[in-house]
Structure 1
């Protein structure tokens, strides 16, 4: 014990100075190395908490709809060209007889009339905003058409109302219009015939079907 005490007394500040310096350097080094890790860990924990909160809010406020395909009707390019050829041939016939005005008026005016009737029905009768609807320039849905899923029963009823109301409007002007105005009936039927065929093929899904109008097909789904 006396020997250990004698050795402790023999230790001076100069002999202990390297030990203190090494300890201080080790402490500074570990602090510098640990700072980015602790900051990264805190940020990752923060991002994790934010992700959990956002996921909980999304699950509370959003509704996910799952649709099951019932039937899909593809558009035929060949039939589409033939169908356009019928209209062009009728227009050429009217040009030969120098009376193309009624048919040209129908081609330009009737899709706008159909769009107006759809707008009035949705905004005034159904009290809904005209969202998810856009104007299409291709058959079979030439004119104003929905871009999202829509109930088949509702959509079919809307199309039938536009079909018959347009016929009644044309019929009201028939007594005072020239005989050439019969071309308006032809153009109106030409526009509606493809969509009436599609709706007829989907008739058995009217009660629970939802229709989606795509560029290359018309699909019917159920929830």
Structure 2
């Protein structure tokens, strides 16, 4: 019994208090996928087979852009380097997302960098790539990042020292 008490004295207990939860409805996710299907239809009608190739190449290129931008951001943002990020295809968090809980300020900062640096990188390519690829890059970038920016906007009034947890169909904000 004495051993159990000494083990409990050294245990760390984290207490989080849920302050706000956002449940993402299936209809919203379905409309998000309808938008990308409309985009594919536009690419096919306007550019034919080149539009289809641009659509697939744009997705792959944006994923590559996002990982490079995240790695560069992690060099700049010290506390982001110890966080683990994973690539998932779980709607609405398609692409790279934090594997565990993440502070709200870090989430905002990383995604703000991702949005603006991504747009600037795409704009730099403008003179050298065809229009269908340019449209594809901008559309995929916006389509992938908008749910995260809306999430940051939704939690904007919450205290900045809390923790954000992303799950399949919900996002929860906890105060420490």
TM-score class, shorter: 0.7 to 0.9
Aligned counterparts, 1:24-173, within 5 A? 48=1, 52-53=2-3, 55-57=5-7, 59-60=9-10, 62-96=11-45, 97-98=47-48, 99-123=51-75, 125-126=77-78, 129=81, 131-173=83-125
Q: 1:119 to 1:59 in 2, by over 3 A?
A: farther
Task: List gaps (5 residues or longer) in structure 1.
Answer: 1-47
Aligned residue for 1:193?
A: 146
Q: 1:197 to 1:66 in 2, by over 3 A?
A: same
Q: CA offset at residue 93 of structure 1?
A: 2.3
Query: Which one has the largest radius of gyration?
Result: 1
3-state SS of 2:114 partner? helix
> TM-score, normalising length from structure 2?
0.86
RMSD: 2.1
> TM-score, normalising length from structure 1?
0.69
Contact 2:59/2:140 (CA < 8 Å) preserved in 1?
A: yes
Contact 2:80/2:106 (CA < 8 Å) preserved in 1?
A: no
Higher strand share: 2
Q: 1:152 to 1:186 in 2, by over 3 A?
A: same
Q: 1:129 to 1:189 in 2, by over 3 A?
A: closer
Aligned residue for 1:10?
A: none
Equivalent residue pairs, number = 172
Task: List gaps (5 residues or longer) in structure 2.
Answer: none
Q: Return the structure number with greater relative CO, CA threshold 8 A, min gap 6.
A: 2
